Amino acid sequence: MKCLACGGESMVGGIIIDSNGGKPYFKLDDVSIWKSLFGVGTRTIRGYGCVRCGHLQLSVDFNETDLQRYQQFEGEQPGVLERINSDPKNLKGQ
């Protein structure tokens, strides 16, 4: 892994811990706050510190289900007009 700030390759991995000893979590937007209190829809945050410049990079530990669910939206999505005009047969039947 390379540092995004300086390009150095001396990155040290770790976890972030708050002052009470707990780990902060990444909460998915589509999960309610109540569910996240019980650990549903939260993911662990990992940190990587650059020894060269001190920059801190964060990453989220997604699981396989997350990857399958959210990668379907990767890439450029068609605009509204393109979606409407993509199947003219549906428009004629209305």
pLDDT mean for each 10 residues of the chain (94 residues):
93 88 84 83 91 94 83 64 61 49
DSSP character string of the chain: ---TTT----EEEEE---TTSPPPEEEPTTS-HHHHHTTTTEEEEEEEEETTT--EEEEE---HHHHHHHGGG-SPPPPHHHHHHT-HHHHHT-
pTM exceeds 0.85 for this model: no
CA torsion, points 68, 73, 76, 80, in degrees to nearest 10? 150
